[in-house]
Structure 1
């Protein structure tokens, strides 16, 4: 049976999308090649037609997820203070907290990125530094940009650790209050 000329690229795209969601939901290291391929209806052996190794797939997932993250859109379009504040308020919501698969990749993948090979960490570092530079310009304060970035990502990490939704809501509300204070003081 002959496949369409773009079949391999379509399969690769499906694998990337599915693997990104699986990695953000349950962890990449804990998911085997067979499970990644089964999620798109193929056998584990077909994996190597698309990536030389699982590490190469993870590197591509990290690049893709960071580029498509809500925070990343501020790098592309630039941000003024009101837009950055709105984005951070949306970031610090229960809807985002409960949507690990469709949300920011830093909270669910951060630890795995930290354990990854140097090229993956360098790729993530480049993205985070670029984001930091954009926020630094908007906030006119590089230290505040680092603190705010860490606060928001950390709030989601800790929020996902909590079992009780009322506690999650309290945590997110406290973080949004801090964001409000930062932006109200900077007027």
Structure 2
């Protein structure tokens, strides 16, 4: 059977999307190549026609996820009101309860920190770009880093808690802390 010319690219994208969701839900290190490939209906042996190693797949996942975060959150000139709306969407109970559909940092941050240097460099590249976009909007580079850290930390902490009430309390507290920092300057 002949495949279309873009079949390999489509399969690679399916593998990246599926592996991202699996990694964000249950961790990347704990899932083997066979499990990642089975999720898209292929054998483990087909993996190596798309990535030379599992580590290379992890690097591609990090780049894909963080570049997507920049697209969603890093619009220069969009205004503090838009930034506030982004934070309300990020610090939301649905984001806590659906890690596979959300930001990779709370789910994969510890694995990124333990990854080889090229993976951490990819993460740094995209995080710095997000920080720079927010720093431009906020006119404060330190505040931009603090907001990113607060958001990722709050989401991680909320996911660690058992009761929805305590999860919501963490999110509400973080939003209350950040709101005055994001108030529009007139």
Q: TM-score, normalised by structure 2?
A: 0.94
1:160-179 correspondence to structure 2 within 5 Å: 160-179=159-178
Cα distance between partner residues in 2 of 1:32 and 1:67: 25
Give runs of ≥4 in structure 1 deviating > 4 Å.
none
Cα distance between partner residues in 2 of 1:60 and 1:7: 18
Deviation string for 1:59-111 (max 9, x for gaps)? 11111111112x54232554311111111111111011112111111111111
Shift of 1:3: 2.1
2:131 counterpart of 1:138: no
Number of residue equivalences:
186
Q: Contact 1:79–1:134 (CA<8 Å) still a contact in 2?
A: no
Cα distance between partner residues in 2 of 1:159 and 1:138: 27
1:46-125 correspondence to structure 2 within 5 Å: 46-69=46-69, 71-76=70-75, 78-125=77-124
Q: TM-score, normalised by structure 1?
A: 0.93
Shift of 1:41: 0.8
Q: Contact 2:80–2:183 (CA<8 Å) still a contact in 1?
A: no
| 2:3 aligned residue | 3
1:26-45 correspondence to structure 2 within 5 Å: 26-45=26-45
SS at match of 1:28: coil
Q: Contact 2:75–2:133 (CA<8 Å) still a contact in 1?
A: no
Q: Tell me whether 6-15 or 106-115 shows the greater mean CA deviation.
A: 6-15
Deviation string for 1:113-158 (max 9, x for gaps)? 1111101101111111111111111111111111111001100000
SS at match of 1:88: helix
Cα distance between partner residues in 2 of 1:176 and 1:87: 11
Cα distance between partner residues in 1 of 2:167 and 2:143: 24
Q: Contact 1:159–1:172 (CA<8 Å) still a contact in 2?
A: yes
Q: CA RMSD in A?
A: 1.5
Cα distance between partner residues in 2 of 1:72 and 1:114: 23
- Gapped runs of 5+ residues in structure 1? none
Deviation string for 1:33-76 (max 9, x for gaps)? 0000010111111111111110111111111111112x542325
